[in-house]
Structure 1
Amino acid sequence: MNQIGFHQMAEMALKDVGVVCSHISAATAETMCAEILAAKRIACYGVGREGLMMKALCMRLMHLGLDASMVGDMTTPPVGTGDLLFTSAGPGQFSTVLALMGVAKKAGARTMVVTAQPEGNAPRQADVVIYIPAQTMANDQGGNVSILPMGSLYEAAQLIFFDLISLMLRDKMQQTAEEMRQRHTNLE
């Protein structure tokens, strides 16, 4: 790997992300859209770089006019019946994800987890599992691994998948790109 140039690394990384996205089922995308559209309010959560991808998704949901917020923001409303807690647990579990899922379920909200390890504790406790078949830190060693380090393949695939979901939602909601753009902040 020491002699691989930037463009060759880029090609390898893009190929890895493309392979992951090509293995996400259309039914998974439709399920995710249906859960989001059925929710009164959506609370998103993730840790680390996965949390950044969840923030990117939350922003797109807001651009679509949906009532979406990030857990941890002081303006996030409580969840309850009719709401959706959507979390990311690429390696299958994080203690905070499990705790938040418990709170949400007790309050009557549905839970949806995006993960690369569907047999993990968080996916087994979720109402809905969104499976992204990508390398995370749970399986980034040994044989067939991505050129991208640790969980970066999962996180990059999340970003692309989430933006594709936002396009699907836009079509289902019969919105235009301009309508989404009008909801973009002007406070930058």
Structure 2
Amino acid sequence: MKGNGGEALRLGMLEELKGSFLSISAVEAEKLVEEIAGAKKVFIYGLGRERLMLLAFGMRLMHLGIKVHIVGDVSTPAIERGDLWLTSSGTGRLATVEALMGIVEASGARTVFFTAFPDAPLPQRADLVIRIPARTMREDEGGTPSVQPMGSLFEQSQLLLFDWIVLLLADRLGQTEAGMAGRHTNLE
């Protein structure tokens, strides 16, 4: 690795990211587009680095003109029937997601769950599960191998998925890049 700038690592990262991203179901992606396009409001919740990917997605949804809220912000309204809750746990296990899922279920809102472990009990409670075939923190339980540490591959694949969904939504909603740019914050 010394002397070549880690070229083998860079190429390995790109190859595994390509493999993971291209393994995400196009059918599931289309279902996600339908869910978002049909929701009154979209709520986003995640933790750690997955939260950062979800926040980037939330920003782009706002740029598309979708009413989106980040769970935990003081301006987040109540979730209701007709709304959509997007959450993520690469491992399929997260106590806070489990607690919030109970509230979402009681509200009548729909749930989308992003995970590498779709057969785990928690994702099975969701209305739509998007499988991201990538290594997570549960590497010891059969996750996809990766040259990268911990859940980096999952999070990178997640960001690419979200950008793909934005492109599909923009087409579905008739949004242009100029229209999206018009919604970009001017409080900078």
TMscore range, shorter length: over 0.9
**Structure 2: any 5+ residue segments left out of the alignment?**
none
Secondary structure, in 3 states, of the residue corresponding to 2:139? coil
Aligned length: 188
Secondary structure, in 3 states, of the residue corresponding to 2:40? coil
Call closer, same or farther: CA 1:129–1:89 in 2, change over 3 Å. same
Q: Distance in 2 between matches of 1:174 and 1:142?
A: 41
Shift of 1:122: 1.8
Identity across matched positions, percent? 47
**Aligned residue number for residue 40 of structure 2:** 40
With normalisation by structure 1, the TM-score equals 0.94
Give matches, 1:111-130, under 5 Å.
Answer: 111-130=111-130
RMSD of equivalent CA atoms: 1.8
With normalisation by structure 2, the TM-score equals 0.94
| Contact kept in structure 1, 2:41 and 2:83, CA below 8 Å | yes
Call closer, same or farther: CA 1:142–1:31 in 2, change over 3 Å. closer
Shift of 1:8: 2.6
CA deviations on 1:97-135 (whole Å, 9 max, x unpaired) are 111111011011111101110011221111111111111
| Contact kept in structure 2, 1:140 and 1:150, CA below 8 Å | no
Q: Distance in 2 between matches of 1:88 and 1:13?
A: 22
| Contact kept in structure 2, 1:114 and 1:129, CA below 8 Å | yes
Q: Which runs of 4+ in 1 moved over 2 A?
A: 1-8, 140-144
Give matches, 1:1-188, under 5 Å.
Answer: 5-139=5-139, 145-188=145-188
**Structure 1: any 5+ residue segments left out of the alignment?**
none
Call closer, same or farther: CA 1:85–1:143 in 2, change over 3 Å. closer
